[in-house]
Amino acid sequence: MKPIAIPKFRNLEEGADWWESREGKRAATALMKQSAAARNLTRRKVPLRTVTMRLPEPDIEAAKDLAFRNGLPYQTYIKMLLHEAIEKARNSA
């Protein structure tokens, strides 16, 4: 298999734009096909549970804005922030 060329990005926005481009999507597809062929795909080791939370609307809007700047879905971004805060609290306890 030929190597897949992924350019160096100056910032997250540039990277997000590239991954959303036709070339980036082709690279992502090729990477997934290579992993599948090599049997390197693994399932999530930690089970997930759906939860419902009420959050202040300004916090949700801020999370959406920050997530967009980082090229992430906002719920993924909120989950990432929550995980980081839990790990930080766990490590300082």
Q: What integer is the mean pLDDT of 53-70?
A: 93
Is pLDDT of 49 > 80? yes
Residue that wins the pLDDT comparison between 25 and 34: 25
Q: Which pair of structure tokens corresponds to residue 91?
A: 């490590």
Of 30, 21, 23, residue with least CA distance to 71: 21
Q: What is the DSSP letter of 38?
A: T
Which tokens hold the place of 8? 């160096």
pTM: 0.54
Residues 14-23: tens digit of each pLDDT = 888 899 899 9
List the domains of the chain with CATH numbers: 1-42 (no CATH), 44-93 (1.10.1220)
Structure tokens at 2: 């030929």
pLDDT interval class at 71 (50, 70, 90): confident
